[in-house]
Structures are given as structure tokens and as C-alpha cells.
């Protein structure tokens, strides 16, 4: 169902890899709601994913950019404004990667070169994106910028590894930069703390299937899907949430406020 919530709005979407990814679903929903956008991903991810199909489906152009490169980001912002014909209303940062996780190194045995690279891609890249937009004065007034995060930033999920630290940093950047973006440009910056979601990125985490079913049993409303996250993101990109900024918004079926559920108790008293 479409409400035309984003009619005439223009933006940039980072991180759409394949149809399981939240960024991909969000792009589809933005398109349905009347928004137009540029798609961007790292050149290596673009070779692996099916982003060309999404571009064709939504009538979007693709600009390859390494989100850790200031030069690439400045170019992305300039080109996007050219393609979209003006300032930008919304940006989705949906990027995360841990080489320690990929290489099977535990949190107590990090290889710090891997840690630094993962932090740059997953967390510092958000600051770089915000700074590029800010310096270019690229955001339209009342625009909205959203990054995707996870509750491991606040609580321990042992196998989430160094990504937990990256997400904590990411959320801090949203608050800190959100202050300046709000004060000076009337632009809002928020993070969405999403349920565990079976995306290509999510499934890299050890024990993921067991964890998804645990979260499902813990959440009064059940886990939020990628499509539901896309819907929530659309509301944050719309004019209906103009005064929401510097927030970390839990979109997790109630998981974050549940101490224990009846289902979990029953599982342990069988």
C-alpha cells in the first residue's frame, strides 16, 4: 500500500546488495512512495550483488563509492545532486563489515588491522558521509539521515564480536553530528536498531539461526522483518517525523524492553 509519503523527495541509498538486504527493501518502498534516489555501493560489493536489477526496477542510477574514501564520498554527493537535480532529502547508511568475524577470530583474539578496517567501514564511514553532506551543504532543510544499527551496542551478544563496538561508535556519531546538523541545517540524524534479520551481512554472525529464534521468542510482537524495517525507515524519511533526531530507535518487536518471555521460561523448564 502506498501513501505517497515521499513524493518529490530525493536521496542516496548505501548498501543495497541483494533482495534480502534492508537497503534493497527500503529502496523498493521509497520508490513505491514516490521518492527518487541514487544507489551506491563499494565497487567490490557491486560485483557480488545484483544492484543493477534494483536500479532498473526503480529507474535509478548507480554511483560506485568506497564509503571510507572522502574523495569518493565528495564525488558521490556532487554527482547525486547533479543527477537528482538539487539538494538531497534523505540518506540511508546500511553498511557494516567485520573482517574479524569473517576470519573467525574471537573478540578476545582480534587482529587489530582487521578491527581498524571494520571500524572504518562500519562506523567511521557514517561520520565521513555526514561530513561530506554537511560541507557540501547538500541536504535540504528538514531532510533525514538514517543509519542501521543493532542492540549489541548496548548489551552483550558474544558472537557479535567487534561489530558491537562499531555499532556503539556509529550511534554516538549520529547523536554528535545530529546536534550540528539539527542546529545549523534543520536536518535530522537517527539510527534504527533493528531485530536480527536474515540478510547476507547478518548471516555472517556465528550461531545466527539460534539467535533469530531466541529473539522471536523474546519479542512480544516477534522479530521485525527487513520489509518492516523499510517501512519504518520511510516514516523517518517522511515529513511526519520532523522533530525526531539524535535518537537510537528500537525496531525490534519489543525485544529491547523484555526481560524474559513466557516462551523462553517454558523452553528452560521443559
- Tens of pLDDT, residue by residue over 42-98, are 988 878 779 999 999 999 999 999 999 999 999 999 999 999 999 999 999 999 999
**pLDDT surpasses 80 at 203:** no
| Confidence bin at 16 (pLDDT 50/70/90) | very high
Work out the angle at residue 216's Cα, subtended by the Cα atoms of residues 235 and 265, and round it to the nearest 5 degrees: 135
| Confidence bin at 21 (pLDDT 50/70/90) | very high
What is the model's pLDDT at position 88?
A: 98
Q: Alpha-carbon distance 261 to 214, whole Å?
A: 10
- Ranges of each domain in the chain: 10-268
| Confidence bin at 218 (pLDDT 50/70/90) | very high
- Tens of pLDDT, residue by residue over 115-154, are 999 999 999 999 999 999 999 999 999 999 999 999 999 9
Q: Is 7 helix (H, G, I), strand (E, B) or coil?
A: coil
Question: Which string of DSSP letters, residue by residue, matches 234-259?
Answer: HHHHSGGGTT--S-EEEESTTGGG-S
Query: In this structure, how many other beta carbons lie within 10 angstroms of the beta carbon of residue 24?
Result: 27
Catalytic residues: 150, 160
What is the model's pLDDT at position 71?
A: 98
- Tens of pLDDT, residue by residue over 241-266, are 999 999 999 999 999 999 999 999 99
Which residues contribute to the annotated binding site for NAD(+)? 15, 21-22, 95, 167
What is the model's pLDDT at position 49?
A: 75
Q: Alpha-carbon distance 95 to 110, whole Å?
A: 21
What is the model's pLDDT at position 199?
A: 83
What is the model's pLDDT at position 48?
A: 77
Which of 19-23, 152-156, 266-270 has the weakest average pLDDT?
266-270
What is the model's pLDDT at position 127?
A: 99
Contact 268, 217 (CB under 8 A): no
Q: What is the pTM of this model?
A: 0.97
Contact 161, 107 (CB under 8 A): yes
Mean pLDDT across the chain: 96
What is the model's pLDDT at position 154?
A: 98
CATH class of 10-268: alpha beta
Which of 79-88, 160-169, 196-205, 232-241 has the weakest average pLDDT?
196-205
Q: Alpha-carbon distance 195 to 256, whole Å?
A: 9
What is the model's pLDDT at position 145?
A: 99
**pLDDT surpasses 90 at 7:** yes
Cell numbers that stand for 164 in this block: 558491537
In this predicted model, which residue has the larger pLDDT, 266 or 209?
266
Which residues contribute to the annotated binding site? 15, 21-22, 95, 167
How many whole angstroms from its chain centre is CA 59?
22
Which of 10-14, 43-47, 156-160, 264-268 has the weakest average pLDDT?
43-47
Contact 188, 121 (CB under 8 A): no
Q: Is 144 helix (H, G, I), strand (E, B) or coil?
A: strand
What is the model's pLDDT at position 46?
A: 79
Contact 122, 53 (CB under 8 A): no
What is the model's pLDDT at position 204?
A: 72
What is the model's pLDDT at position 206?
A: 76
Which of 161-165, 202-206, 239-243 has the weakest average pLDDT?
202-206
Amino acid at each position: 500500500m502506498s501513501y505517497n509519503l515521499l513524493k518529490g523527495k530525493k536521496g542516496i541509498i548505501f548498501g543495497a546488495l541483494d533482495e534480502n538486504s534492508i537497503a534493497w527493501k527500503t529502496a523498493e518502498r521509497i520508490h513505491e512512495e514516490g521518492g527518487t534516489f541514487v544507489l551506491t555501493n563499494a565497487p567490490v560489493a557491486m560485483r557480488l550483488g545484483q544492484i543493477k536489477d534494483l536500479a532498473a526496477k526503480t529507474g535509478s542510477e548507480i554511483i560506485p563509492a568506497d564509503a571510507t574514501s572522502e574523495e569518493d564520498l565528495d564525488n558521490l554527493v556532487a554527482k547525486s545532486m547533479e543527477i537528482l537535480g538539487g539538494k538531497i532529502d534523505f540518506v540511508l547508511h546500511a553498511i557494516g563489515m567485520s573482517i574479524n568475524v569473517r576470519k573467525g577470530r574471537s573478540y578476545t583474539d582480534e587482529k587489530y588491522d582487521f578491527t581498524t578496517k571494520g571500524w572504518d567501514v562500519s562506523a567511521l564511514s557514517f561520520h565521513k558521509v555526514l561530513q561530506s553532506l554537511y560541507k557540501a551543504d547538500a541536504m535540504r532543510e528538514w531532510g533525514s539521515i538514517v543509519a542501521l544499527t543493532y542492540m549489541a551496542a548496548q548489551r552483550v551478544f558474544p558472537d557479535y564480536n567487534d561489530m558491537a563496538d562499531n555499532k556503539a561508535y556509529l550511534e554516538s556519531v549520529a547523536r554528535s553530528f545530529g546536534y550540528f546538523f539539527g542546529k545549523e541545517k534543520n536536518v535530522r540524524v537517527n539510527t534504527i536498531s533493528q531485530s536480527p534479520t536474515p540478510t547476507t551481512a547478518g548471516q555472517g554472525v556465528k550461531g545466527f539461526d539460534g539467535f533469530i529464534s531466541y529473539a522471536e521468542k523474546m519479542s512480544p510482537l516477534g522479530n521485525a522483518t527487513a520489509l518492516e524495517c523499510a517501512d519504518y525507515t520511510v516514516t523517518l524519511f517522511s515529513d511526519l517525523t520532523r522533530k525526531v533526531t539524535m535518537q537510537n530507535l528500537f525496531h525490534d518487536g519489543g525485544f529491547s524492553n523484555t526481560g524474559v518471555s513466557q516462551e523462553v521460561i517454558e523452553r528452560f523448564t521443559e
